[in-house]
Structure 1
């Protein structure tokens, strides 16, 4: 089981780099994550994904889409996203995370990279195999993954060549880039509210607290959560507390009651009830299963 580490601002803490390169390329199986899915997070790196088995549902900012075997996805820098397996397909994918500054040389970055990562109308691109440019990108992801695993002589240079090809194929398709100040503000406010929840989840939380963290009214705060996360702010708090309880329940010395209070529930029975709804088992069953 792999724990997916994010900080209180939902920013992923995994170091996306090898010793030599400001990037990472790895294969991942969604249901091997501690939560059974990849929780909501964001990172400065741009991300390319290629599904090698099964199918998955990605949520990027407010949108959800299904990505099937053989297809891929580009997720832009700073975009909130989460991933879950679709129909228990045992989905596996190659994930390529790259620092935007590494995509092209510094001289070309300003003209050919920065405008794309700042654009508010390009949170993601679905890469199917119908177009030549998308197929070129998917092929290059496979090549980079092979180079990272085999590390032949000068593989770092070969990787930079493949990255340049990926980026050229992505930008030659005439996107009309837009820069909506309101979109940037909405994204920032959502991250502020999530950041506040992730800092204070173990305390008593009121809707007013969350709304004030995003400088919004209560009703506007609820609209943000409904639109982006398809749930109320307080439902999100409950789900996040249960997420945090999973790690604590795996510690052999912790009791269910201790864990309930540690993650912010003020009633053990309510914790058990909510845990069962979310995980289809009681916390005690989960604890025994993980410690057996």
Structure 2
């Protein structure tokens, strides 16, 4: 299965249902630059995520860290961590397998408290880079591939085989020897960041001041800016502008939409300002983007 777009709610929580018919998991291939945004936008989910890059190179951001994942390598992204992904070179055609698993399904209920919960609560394991030269990581990468194949083949009892591989994945992950840390300061920082993003994504179409965003996180203006620059590498208002442009993409693809209406719908109070920011972000004007998307729509008959 190939996912080119996924829905997120106002807090950036992904709304994709991560499960097969029977199991609380999802395993699919993603080609990064085929996503509607041209990249995988910032989001989070309760599920644990395991990634295996099959082609090209990906640049991932997990919370405030950035990491390059090359072909044959992978990632473990912990539950609740903000993350996004871009094609490292924009044209490598990066493809990766994404395996999302509900934490409660990794091990049996009797083992969950001891062997799973301490890891998903740890503040020093937002992600782990999976490199094949590490024995434990190579085992995880092999199991990701096998789970993906099991779902594709859909043979009798494949769910049991998947469960076995998930157990092996988790055993190898906790064998890597990382000492767990649980810092209240880090937990509070993540909570405040999500509160600010949640507020911003609820009110993005309104007039928004820096004070409004800071107040949502219970922070001063300066602390709010430090949070955004540390985690998202941009100012709060620059992030807001980028988010508004993201929201405009789907609106521009509607046949009846026009650039001015879209600009005001996503919170810009000037069409010319919207066009300028859109061009800098997308390397084309909103009108060119709209015409291109409409001409490539599966519902448009391009025959002459």
TM-score normalised over the length of structure 2: 0.95
Q: Are 1:190 and 2:193 matched, yes or no? A: yes
What's the CA shift for 1:2?
2.8
Paired residues for 1:181-260 under 5 Å: 181-260=184-263
Which deviates more, 171-180 or 221-230?
A: 171-180
What's the CA shift for 1:165?
0.4
Q: Are 1:99 and 2:107 matched, yes or no? A: no
Which deviates more, 169-178 or 251-260?
A: 169-178
How many residue pairs were aligned? 292
Residue matched to 2:76:
74
Q: Are 1:121 and 2:107 matched, yes or no? A: no
Q: How big is the alpha-carbon RMSD for the aligned residues of Structure 1 and Structure 2?
A: 0.7
What's the CA shift for 1:188?
0.4
- What is the CA–CA distance in structure 2 between the aligned matches of 1:107 and 1:43, rounded to whole Å? 24
TM-score normalised over the length of structure 1: 0.99
What's the CA shift for 1:172?
1.4
Residue matched to 2:39:
37
- What is the CA–CA distance in structure 2 between the aligned matches of 1:175 and 1:266, rounded to whole Å? 50
SS in 1 for 2:156: coil
8 Å contact 2:123–2:183 — kept in the other structure?
yes
- What is the CA–CA distance in structure 1 between the aligned matches of 2:125 and 2:13, rounded to whole Å? 19
What's the CA shift for 1:153?
1.1
Q: Deviations over 1:52-107 (max 9, x none)?
A: 00000000000000000000000000000000001121000000000000000000
- What is the CA–CA distance in structure 2 between the aligned matches of 1:144 and 1:242, rounded to whole Å? 37
Q: Are 1:166 and 2:169 matched, yes or no? A: yes
What's the CA shift for 1:278?
0.2
Q: Deviations over 1:106-155 (max 9, x none)?
A: 00000000000000000000001111111100000000000010011100
8 Å contact 2:4–2:31 — kept in the other structure?
no
- What is the CA–CA distance in structure 1 between the aligned matches of 2:158 and 2:21, rounded to whole Å? 13
Residue matched to 2:182:
179
8 Å contact 1:4–1:34 — kept in the other structure?
no
SS in 2 for 1:18: coil
SS in 2 for 1:277: helix
Paired residues for 1:79-158 under 5 Å: 79-87=81-89, 88-158=91-161
What's the CA shift for 1:173?
2.1
Unaligned runs of 5+ in 2: 296-304
- What is the CA–CA distance in structure 1 between the aligned matches of 2:188 and 2:107, rounded to whole Å? 28
Residue matched to 1:262:
265
- What is the CA–CA distance in structure 2 between the aligned matches of 1:222 and 1:276, rounded to whole Å? 25
Residue matched to 1:3:
5
